[in-house]
Amino acid sequence: MAEYTYDQLKRMTVAKLRQIADGITDEALDGHSTMHKEHLLPILARIMGVEEHHVAHGAAKLKIKSQIRKLKAKRDEVWKAGDKAELARVRHNIHVLKHRLRRMAT
């Protein structure tokens, strides 16, 4: 019954997901017309037999957050020392790591 991939379902609007749910009779979808997308999407995926893609969490996330904390401490030290070039490098590294975290969450 998997007509869609999880990514296709995720990119659809909540109205389109509700239209798909209209054609499915399942107890879990009772009240689907008032559900928000974050509630409706996993239920539809499970009923339709679509595998969800899980985001990598855990050790990698903790490692990156630890690196960010260390860089923030270094940033404060460099700021007090007045080294603008090093401050720019440290702030850029913090930015890159935060961006990596946000990509992991999507």
Tokens 């460099």 label which residue?
Answer: 78
Full pLDDT tens readout for the chain, 106 residues: 558 888 888 899 999 999 989 988 888 888 888 889 888 988 888 888 887 665 555 668 888 999 999 999 999 999 999 999 999 999 999 999 999 988 887 5
> Could you tell me if 44 and 65 lie in one domain?
no
53 inside domain? no
How many structural domains are present in the chain? 2
Provide the domain limits for residue 24: 6-48
36 inside domain? yes
43 inside domain? yes
* Pair 75, 91: CB distance under 8 Å: yes
63 inside domain? yes
Determine phi and psi for 55, rounding to 5 degrees: -85, 140
54 inside domain? no
